[in-house]
Amino acid sequence: MKKYFLIVLIIFICYDRIWAGGNEGKIRIEINIPSHTLKLYKDDTLMKEYPVCLGKKSTPTPEGEYKVIYKTINPYWINKDVVVPPGPRNPLGARWIGISKKIGIHGNNKPESIGTYASAGCIRMYNRDAEELYALVPLDTPVAVKYDRSEVFEDKYSGERAVIIYPDSYKKGPGNCGQLLDKLRRLDIYEELINRAQEILKRTTGKPLTASKGIGVFLNNSLMTCDALEEKDCIFINRKAAEDILGLIPGIAGLFDIGIKEAEGKVYINLTQTVKCLGGSITYDKAGDAYINMKIIKINGVFAGINYGNYDKSDLLSVEAVKQLGYEYTEDSVDIRIFDKGIIKLIRNNTWVVNADNLAKATGGFKNVSSRDGIVDMELPVFLKIGEEYYKIDSIDGRLVLNADTACSIYERSGLDVKDEDVDLETFLKDYEYETNYFGTVIEIKAKGN
């Protein structure tokens, strides 16, 4: 291990170095080695969870209690006589959050390493995650690095308690397994689950496994639910989980003719068929757990398509999905214009795509990212369409509202009494027959109501 630490990391300051500060918000970081996760807590409430890359077996990430001792934007990296300035070749990425003299949390230039053990002991993150974390954690933030192979949780969809067992990545051996079983017994886990966990602990596996009454379903190694069942070589998952996490609302499921079934008063959707139709891949453990590999983009919480980007550097959505938003558009060989704002088109995997950030900019929306699940959820604005005209709907304190000018213009055209004030959209729509698309991005007025 020591020979690897002879590779000296010297962090220079390009733009900013912070040496003093406090932790007034009770922020803390918890890093768990077997699960490849970094969790950010505020006042003991989980705020964010990120996937990370950790140290190789030969240079493991050390367990222990640390704190943030310094932070640097756009660090230099020095390896012997090689100096790498900030930029795409820098293995530290765009941010460094030091927690000891040799160990830090940082970005990277190899996003494919996230979720593996490949570092010299540091904690690598996707660059965009490192930038977000950097802005959230002050100096002196406590950082706990632990090696905990089990996680007990209550499944949101089944209401049952279950256990996730993570691989023994650093080969801690039988002693660690015994400690895990003792922990589960202290937590009053019923015996059937403990016996199932014991069987899992005897196995050598590189995937997380669940001890539960159902089948564990993981999306990009993040557990979705254990409320799943098998029938005729297909996995069926609780439909609410598919809707909440994948954005697979009934309309979208129906569009792809994805099968459903009922069991014990609940509705389940064919997950095997879902993944095949939507463009991901699925594998199974011999004990039954299912693992989906699929990076997706949702729009207003609804599945919009596969993410054709490389995730850390860009998020790319198919042009065909953009057309389904119902916005006014024109297209040529170079770009697609949304409300006369051009978005350059690219080719990925023989598919025309656009950059999600450019789409958000053109429409006045924004993008949320859940790196742990591999999901990008774009929040795009709602437009009212009357004939060939589009009117943007404002959002005020969570309410959709037509501003006074827009409402006045529409009422004048409709022959209704003009009101020189903001109008709640729900109130406005009572006067009309209308249709809304899957994404809720366009409400098209069909006719004046009774």
How much is the pTM?
Answer: 0.87
Q: Could you give the domains of the chain?
A: 2-146 (2.40.440.10), 150-293 (no CATH), 296-379 (no CATH), 383-448 (no CATH)
Taking only the tens place, the pLDDT of each residue in 181-216 is 888 888 777 788 888 888 888 877 789 999 998 999
d(CA 113, CA 231): 35
Do the Cβ atoms of 68 and 98 come closer than 8 Å? Answer: yes
Q: What is the mean pLDDT of the chain?
A: 88
Taking only the tens place, the pLDDT of each residue in 279-296 is 999 999 987 899 999 999
User: Quick one: pLDDT at residue 415?
Assistant: 60
- Catalytic residue, chosen from 122, 177, 226, 408, is 122
Taking only the tens place, the pLDDT of each residue in 308-345 is 998 788 999 999 999 999 999 999 999 999 999 999 99
Residue 277 appears among annotated catalytic residues: no
Q: In the predicted model, what is the mean pLDDT of residues 36-62?
A: 95
User: Quick one: pLDDT at residue 38?
Assistant: 98
And the tokens for 397? 């304190």
Percentage of the chain lying above the pLDDT 90 cut:
61
Question: Which pLDDT band, with edges at 50, 70 and 90, does 25 fall under?
Answer: low
- Catalytic residue, chosen from 106, 226, 277, 408, is 106
d(CA 409, CA 420): 10
Percentage of the chain lying above the pLDDT 70 cut:
91
Residue 106 appears among annotated catalytic residues: yes
d(CA 75, CA 93): 8
Taking only the tens place, the pLDDT of each residue in 106-135 is 999 899 999 999 999 999 999 999 999 999
d(CA 238, CA 265): 11
Sign of CA dihedral 37, 43, 45, 48: negative
And the tokens for 126? 């996707």
